[in-house]
A and B are shown apart, each in its own frame.
Chain A
Amino acid sequence: DTAVSQTPKYLVTQMGNDKSIKCEQNLGHDTMYWYKQDSKKFLKIMFSYNNKELIINETVPNRFSPKSPDKAHLNLHINSLELGDSAVYFCATGPTGAREQFFGPGTRLTVL
């Protein structure tokens, strides 16, 4: 069983489109995160959810909207995609307070 899964693994789309990335975890953790890793390999946190509530929202354009339907899922919806959104997006989970994290395999987004 995959502990943290993301779909899709690859996403190629045109500028201006709206797309979603899904994340599911079966570790029973309370906290879930979204990260963006750009072409320079810098891994930057975007959002953090604890028990379905938004905890951290870094300076991310409001075109990005996370949705947590339940503790096991944290989806990322992106509106009006731009070239600069091309990156690998990682979902991660962790137990509350411990701050260690377990990452999904990543979604490689390419905006043309």
Chain B
Amino acid sequence: RKEVEQDPGPFNVPEGATVAFNCTYSNSASQSFFWYRQDCRKEPKLLMSVYSSGNEDGRFTAQLNRASQYISLLIRDSKLSDSATYLCVVNTLQKVTFGIGTKLQVIP
């Protein structure tokens, strides 16, 4: 089993739709979790941290489920500008592991 698994997509959704991505991880000792966004031919940029209590930033909601070892990202009211690849990141004390990323394409 891979350390961090994501569905690479692509997810093609119409503007205004709600879309959710999941990311599973194998190491139960993982300590911190993040979502990054990467636009085509650009560097990854931090989107948000992920906490067990869940956290929200505008149209974006991130959630951590430690029991099932997955994190999720929900995007409401999708905009064309949300089109990008979304990378989940799982950290232990010793290691930083990126998922392969899920590609989102928002269609007019």
Contacts and interface: CB of A to CB of B under 8 A. Distances in A.
Contacts of A100: 34, 46, 49
Nearest to B32: A99
B63 interface: no
B5 to A, nearest CB: 12
A62 B98 CA distance: 23
A41 B98 contact: no
A69 to B, nearest CB: 23
Interface in A77-112: 90, 98-106
B34 A99 contact: yes
Contact of B87 (A43, A45, A56): A43
Classify chain A's interface size.
20 to 34
A68 to B, nearest CB: 17
Contacts of A106: 42-43
Contacts of B13: none
B97 to A, nearest CB: 8
A38 B87 CA distance: 15
A43 B43 CA distance: 11
B16 interface: no
A90 B43 contact: yes
Interface of A: 33, 35, 40-45, 48, 56, 90, 98-106
28 contacts: A33-B96, A35-B98, A41-B85, A41-B100, A41-B101, A42-B100, A43-B44, A43-B87, A43-B101, A45-B95, A45-B96, A45-B97, A45-B98, A56-B94, A56-B95, A99-B34, A99-B91, A100-B34, A100-B46, A101-B46, A101-B96, A103-B43, A103-B44, A103-B45, A104-B43, A105-B42, A105-B43, A106-B42
Those 6 A-B pairs whose CB atoms lie nearest each other, nearest first:
A103-B43, A43-B98, A99-B91, A99-B32, A103-B44, A45-B96
Given A33-B96, A42-B100, 10 more contacts: A41-B100, A45-B95, A45-B98, A48-B96, A56-B94, A99-B31, A99-B91, A100-B34, A101-B96, A103-B45
